[in-house]
């Protein structure tokens, strides 16, 4: 498995930080993930009667895993981008957890050898957020999850929802774009992936590795679709409250710009 064609955000780290987490979109994303993971971590930790061993693959800025490290969990953070992890380490230093986190800068394809040096046991929780859509061969990461997740563990997989791209452009009237089979985003700066993974694909790949999807949430189920910022849209706190309310309800969750899937081994 080659990492040569996987996306590395080293060249646009500053742009990534501002674009993804510099505004309300990032706050919504973190709010939904934080809500989902808080429930999972609490249940797992109570079940195991100890802090969790957590692996964050393609962590980027690693906000969520760093917060979990601050709660006393044992965290290993990985990303292909040295620049992204440099930014993450600044956050870790502010939280006072820099020394207790295991940092691994490499493509996920090299993680197995490095984890073998540091860790002979499986992880209770594996985070993989916004990575699938940037991999040249996303299906190939599924066996890695199956190998490194503990039998009682949970996989937290968040990925771009291609259905949201179509729906948003329908609303905006970008029919020419949707009718152009050769359309590609300018990925020198754009954070819209050109090879997104559908929920159906992810579900099939996970099932092939013995996983069962337990929960699904949508991230930004309406905020990105609002052409006019009026009424409640002018109040960021109200927007986040509503996003949280509808993020795990059908049919609204399926409109999310990203989907958050939590999976475990099928008993």
Answer for the pair 216, 248: CB distance below 8 angstroms, yes or no. Answer: yes
- Ligand-binding site membership of 58 (annotated): yes
- Ligand-binding site membership of 233 (annotated): no
Pick the closest to residue 154 from 109, 123, 132, 129 (CA basis): 123
Please report, for residues 115, 202, 251, the alpha-carbon distance to residue 99 in angstroms, rounded to integers and kept in the order given: 18, 35, 43
Pick the closest to residue 258 from 68, 9, 29 (CA basis): 29
Q: Give Dmax (Cα) for the chain.
A: 56
Answer for the pair 130, 258: CB distance below 8 angstroms, yes or no. Answer: yes
Sheet with 53-56: list strands edge to edge: 102-105, 74-79, 53-56, 123-129, 149-160, 258-265, 211-219
- Ligand-binding site membership of 38 (annotated): no
Sequence-ordered strand ranges (E) for the chain: 53-56, 74-79, 102-105, 123-129, 149-160, 211-219, 258-265
Q: Write the DSSP assignment of 210-239 as a string of letters.
A: TEEEEEEEEESSSGGG-SS--GGGG-HHHH
- Ligand-binding site membership of 129 (annotated): yes
- Burial annotation 162-186 (CB, 10 A radius, 16+ → b, else e): bebbebeeeeeeeeeeeeeeeeeee
- Ligand-binding site membership of 113 (annotated): no
Q: Report the alpha-carbon distance of residue 63 to residue 68 in Å, rounded.
A: 9
Annotated binding site: 29, 58-59, 79, 129
Annotated binding site for S-adenosyl-L-methionine: 29, 58-59, 79, 129
């Amino acid at each position: 498995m080659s990492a040569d064609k996987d996306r590395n955000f080293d060249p646009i780290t500053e742009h990534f930080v501002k674009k993804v987490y510099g505004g309300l979109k990032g706050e919504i994303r973190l709010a939904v993930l934080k809500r989902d993971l808080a429930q999972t971590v609490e249940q797992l930790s109570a079940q195991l009667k100890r802090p969790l061993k957590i692996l964050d693959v393609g962590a980027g800025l690693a906000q969520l895993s760093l917060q979990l490290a601050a709660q006393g969990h044992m965290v290993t953070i990985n990303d292909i981008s040295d620049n992204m992890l440099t930014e993450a380490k600044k956050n870790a230093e502010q939280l006072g957890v820099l020394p207790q986190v295991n940092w691994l800068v490499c493509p996920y394809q090299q993680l197995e050898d490095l984890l073998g040096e540091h860790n002979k046991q499986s992880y209770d929780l594996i985070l993989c957020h916004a990575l699938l859509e940037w991999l040249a061969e996303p299906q190939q990461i599924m066996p890695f999850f199956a190998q490194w997740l503990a039998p009682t563990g949970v996989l937290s997989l968040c990925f771009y929802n291609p259905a949201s791209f179509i729906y948003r452009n329908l609303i905006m009237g970008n029919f020419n774009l949707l009718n152009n089979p050769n359309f590609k985003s300018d990925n020198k700066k754009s954070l819209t992936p050109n090879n997104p993974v559908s929920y159906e694909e992810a579900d099939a790949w996970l099932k092939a590795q013995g996983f069962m999807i337990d929960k699904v949430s949508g991230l930004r189920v309406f905020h990105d679709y609002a052409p006019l910022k009026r009424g409640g849209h002018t109040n960021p706190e109200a927007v986040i409250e509503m996003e949280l309310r509808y993020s795990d309800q059908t049919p609204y969750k399926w409109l999310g710009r990203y989907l958050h899937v939590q999976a475990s081994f099928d008993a």
